[in-house]
Amino acid sequence: MDIEVGRVLRSGIAALAVLLSGLQVLSAQTINVLYTTDVHGSVLNYNFQRDTAATYSLSKVYTYVESVRDTSENVVLLDGGDFLQGTPMAYYYNFVDTTSMHAVARAMNFMRYDAVTVGNHDIEAQHKVYDKVVKEIEAPVLGGNVTDTKTGRPYFTPYTIVKRAGKKIAVIGLTSPYIAHWLPKHYWEGMDFEDMIESARKWVGIVKEVENPDAIIGLFHAGYDYTYGGLTADTYKNENASVLVAEKVEGFDAILIGHDHKLKQKTVKSPSGKEVLILDAGAGARFIGLLSMTFDKKGGLTMKTDIRAMKSVPESETFNKRFASQVLATKEYTRRSLGRLKKSVSSIESLAGSSAFVDVIHKVMLKASGADITMTAPLQLGTVIPEGPINVGTLFGLYRFENTLCIFEMTGKEVKDYLEYSYDMWVTDPRETGTVLALQKKGKLKYNEYSLDSAAGIKYTVDVTKPKGQRVEITGMTNGKKFDMKKKYRVALNSYRACGGGGHLELGVGIKYEDIQGRIVKTIDKDIRDLLIAEFEEMAKKDGKIELKPMDNWKFVPERLVKKYMTEDLKAFQGR
């Protein structure tokens, strides 16, 4: 054996042994449930955006799972949803190679998942994609609160029974009903999304009566914090109702959750006072969640949870060989050259004003839609596109989500209110806080960067010394025409925002949720990233060179005051 290979192998095995050391000793009556969630396409052992080896992927998860399986047959493997979007590989098999079996389905079948729950980003891939993948995945795809509007029956499988160690484990899957708030209706045509509490109560009753299981596990694609986005425990069809289900619906022993990408191990009380374990394993195949269930001779159940990091776990050579052809196919797609960037651009620059990074997105949205105004956000801070050759994979850093384009009708007053809502999340008065950016702590904004929409098509300033709701002054259209508060404008938004995502339309503009979809006057069923790829190719036609420039249509004021604080603010984000 090569000395270096042997050293790496031994160190990997040693690290894995440490990881496994705390796992409960398996017995005939002990079942260990392993689960992933929000993998977001991190299946293959390659980072196609950066064209380097991946730090995390299901290859490492497979190593860990097989190591546990080597100790016992009493292992259950589950996934909590959002597996179809997030990497170039997922995109490639969603929209480019649409005839081969999807790489996600191949991986889940190879790893022998027992059940998966559908997530909102899986539905965002649209019917043609997820309907196909659901058929390809051998494990049941769960979604008990998603009903078929034609039949009234579940669109996906509501629950499944997994038998291990002579015990029957019922797994009930639910997903966030807020999908209807985020996606155009034709993405989920033929579906209705029930309130999670109501649906959970229904399926627990059915499972108990029909199956008489020894334990019931919830596998939910919904987060822990039911107050997120200003919602309350009484909000019907709450986005993140996982804890509410545990507290209001009797019958669950444990609930495995996802969607919010946060590690969590908590215990809450059911209506009868019974302890219900809550476990969230984060995102991106970086961690795996463990739920150990031990049944005593009298049928009593003892449980404990754990979360294991995959950083030190070695990749599986078997897994990598099995999916080598999928890696190669995706590489060929992402390595397609788009030209040479003349000057590097950074998403961080977009926090300080009009920037080349965001304005190229504005440019393609205006061009493709013919709208008067566009709104978009930087989506991912810390992204730098360096000077030099760029390819298709590069643009997965420029635009991180699979969104299509919608044209939304707004009055001038509503455009202003939309921007006020965005900038109220973005900035503070530095005379009071010592910072321009609304920082939670050094290097972290209070709100996600994909909430920070700026506009193009209009000229405006944002006065950081003014009170909330009074910061934005629109001085005119960029084509020289007057901006009219009463006039109706065609505004280009990505599909997530146009359906109410982020609260800009509902909370900022004040449009009732039930009226939002009716304001969409046109949809362009073309992925924004595809529009960017075409734009880059067009720019490079002449001499292969691409130059991105800011539109300079908006800025923060007073400029001297902003400059004094903004320089230090931006330093907090360097290296992210």
518 DSSP assignment? G
Domain closes at, from 312, 330, 348: 330
The Cα-based distances of 226 to 195, 414, 496 in angstroms read 13, 28, 20
Q: Using the predicted structure, report yes or no on whether residue 440 has a pLDDT greater than 80.
A: no
Are 342 and 326 found together in one domain?
no
Q: Is the pLDDT of residue 4 over 80?
A: no
The answer on 163 and 301 residing in a single domain is yes
Domain with 407, as residue range(s), is 337-571
* 476 and 547 share one domain: yes
User: Phi and psi for 541 in degrees, rounded to 5?
Assistant: -60, -40
Query: Are 293 and 406 found together in one domain?
Result: no
Kindly report the average pLDDT of the chain as a whole number: 92
Domain identity same for 234 and 291: yes
Report cis status (omega within 30 of 0) of the bond before 88: no
Q: What is the pLDDT of residue 27?
A: 42
Tokens standing for residue 367: 């061009």
Q: Please measure the distance between the N-terminal and C-terminal CA atoms of the chain and give it in whole angstroms.
A: 39
Task: For residues 321 and 341, state if they share a domain.
Answer: no
Tell me the mean pLDDT in the region 373-391. 92
Whether residues 320 and 346 fall in one domain: no
Q: Torsion angle of alpha carbons 319, 324, 328, 334, nearest 10°?
A: 0
Judge whether residue 10 has pLDDT over 50. no
pLDDT at position 25? 42
- Opening angle at CA 565, ends 560 and 571, nearest 5: 130
The strands making up 388-391's β-sheet, listed across from edge to edge, are: 388-391, 337-341, 545-546
User: pLDDT tens for residues 30-57?
Assistant: 999 999 999 999 999 999 998 999 999 9
Band the pLDDT of 574: cuts 50, 70, 90: low
* Total domain count, the chain: 2
Could you say which of 300, 330, 360 is where a domain stops? Answer: 330
What pLDDT is recorded for position 20? 54
Tokens, residue 53: 């080896």
Give me the residues paired with residue 17 across strands: none
pLDDT digits (tens, 9 = 90+) for 560-572: 999 999 988 888 7
Q: Which residues contact 194 (CB under 8 A, 6 or more apart)?
A: 145, 146, 147, 177, 237
Measured CA to CA, the distance from residue 37 to residue 262 in angstroms comes to 10
The CATH number of residue 110's host domain is 3.60.21.10
Mean pLDDT, rounded, for 320-329: 97
Residue 307 shares a structural domain with residue 410: no
pLDDT at 485: 98
Q: What is the DSSP string of 226-250?
A: TTGGG--TT-TT-TT-HHHHHHHST
Which pLDDT score, from 0 to 100, does residue 525 have?
81
> Is the pLDDT reported for residue 446 higher than 70?
yes
pLDDT in tens, 208-228: 999 999 999 999 999 999 998
What would the pLDDT profile of 279-319 be if each residue is shown by its tens digit?
Answer: 999 999 999 999 999 998 887 999 999 999 999 999 999 99
User: DSSP string spanning 450-494?
Assistant: GG--EEESEEEEEETTSPTT--EEEEEETTSPPP-TTSEEEEEEE
Report the percentage of the chain scoring pLDDT > 90.
84
Mean pLDDT of 2-8: 36
Could you tell me if 209 and 253 are in contact, meaning their C-beta atoms sit under 8 angstroms apart?
Answer: no
pTM value is 0.89
Instruction: Write down the pLDDT at residue 28.
Output: 44
